[in-house]
Amino acid sequence: MSDISIAFLILVAANLTIKFWLNRRQAAQVKQHAAQVPARFAAVITLEAHQKAAAYTRAKIRLSQISLVIDTAWLLLLTLGGGINLIYGVATALAGNESTLITGLVFLISLGILSGIVDLPVSIYRQFGLEARFGFNRMTPALFIIDLLRNALVSLIIALPLLALILWLLDLATPMSWLWAWLGWMVFNALLLFIYPVVIAPLFNKFTPMPDSAHKQKLDALLQRCGFSAAGLFVMDGSRRSAHANAYFTGFGKHRRIVLFDTLISQLSPTQLEAVLAHEIGHYQRKHLQKRLVLMAAMSLALLWALFQLLHAPWFYSGLGVDSANPATALALFSMAMPLCLLPLTPLSNALSRKHEYEADAYAAQHSSAQELIDALITMYRENAATLTPDSLYSLWHDSHPPATLRSAHLAAQPGAHA
């Protein structure tokens, strides 16, 4: 076994150990505080709801542990176990005398399908076991299968042209191939931002203009007060699949859409929903999306450059157990190894996201009510069975939003709050 193979095994083991350790910390922390609701929430969260959240959190962690083992075993089977060699050999036979590009596409599609099949048992249990046990699942087996097939078809249609372009550019191996590949990736993402809300999302959910109501009147008044224009307020039938609630913005400029889950509207009062929307507007007004896109662009530029450097490095393939050195296997190996190397950066990404959440909360407090946003968040914590007592280190690695206690305290300190 080469030094690179040993280094790869150490990296895999380190990642698995860290994730297991963080999961165990989270489970222990939640269990330790399950008997008592935190003082800040004691008046509005019942002990029964708090203990349900604790049980739900620990059940998700147990499933996460199983998923980690499966994912790690699959990674090792594909790399040092020779799985990529086998799949590429089959792809070569299927493609026949076609070009390396066709072989590469067949290989990557086959790899994606097989990886989806490996993930399928956990996904089925998560939906129909764990989520159903805690009263969140509303998806039927038929809808699950339809979603699965529809996702696969949409992913294939979207991914094929992009993968073909990237493989072709990498195969050219000119000094600037990586830069052209990055430009193609950025154009693809820009197009996706525009077509997702009007083409892709409606394939999975029904979006209807928000009917006139006390909720809509509050939201319309807020939009006018903030000088914020949007293509419309839409209600999404999220209750078809889950009892969980959410809201989000999508699109750019005059094509911006505000999407509210029907479950969210049923859970929140008009003033609470107004505060939630003010928070989302805050993200736009503070240009958080643009900042994240710039960061993503810089990261993808660096990663594609790194991929190009490894493209003709024999040690990269042999060290990870792959015989065929070509753009398709390089892309597959890179996508598998990259998350292992980037794990230490996860807390930094989450820290930036939390900073943005605090800024959006401050904006919401200025243009609606800090107290109403606190009440809305507490309702969502309760209805989604989100733990109020996460482990601090686990939260740094896994939570893009501030923990409930810190977030409510920050909002309570805003002018006009009376928490």
pLDDT tens for each residue of 33-74: 999 999 989 999 999 999 999 999 999 999 999 999 999 999
Which amino acids are annotated as binding site for Zn(2+), given as ranges? 279, 283, 357
**pLDDT at 268 (0 to 100):** 92
Mean pLDDT, residues 306-328 taken together: 91
pTM for this one?
0.90
Q: Is the pLDDT of residue 355 over 60?
A: yes
End-to-end Cα distance, the chain: 61
- Alpha helices by DSSP H, listed for 33-78, are 47-78
Q: Which of 280, 372, 375, 391 is catalytic?
A: 280
Q: Is the pLDDT of residue 28 over 60?
A: yes
**pLDDT at 137 (0 to 100):** 94
Which pair of tokens denotes residue 12? 């895999």
In the residue annotation, 361 being an active-site residue is answered as: yes
Neighbours of 13 (CB within 10 A): 11
Q: Is the pLDDT of residue 275 over 60?
A: yes
**pLDDT at 96 (0 to 100):** 78
Q: Give 419's pLDDT tier (boundaries 50, 70, 90).
A: very low
In the residue annotation, 119 being an active-site residue is answered as: no
Q: Give 416's pLDDT tier (boundaries 50, 70, 90).
A: low
Q: Give 3's pLDDT tier (boundaries 50, 70, 90).
A: confident
Q: Which of 131, 220, 359, 361 is catalytic?
A: 361
Contact residues for 182 (Cβ-Cβ < 8 A; gap 6+): 300, 301, 304, 305
Q: Is the pLDDT of residue 197 over 90?
A: no
Q: Is the pLDDT of residue 136 over 60?
A: yes
Which position has the token pair 């959240």? 53
Percentage of the residues of the chain whose pLDDT score is greater than 70: 98
322-342: burial string, b at 16+ Cβ within 10 Å, e else: bebbbbbbbbbbbebbeeeee
Specify whether the CB–CB gap between 83 and 77 falls below 8 A.
yes
Q: Give 244's pLDDT tier (boundaries 50, 70, 90).
A: confident
Higher model confidence: residue 171 or residue 13? 13
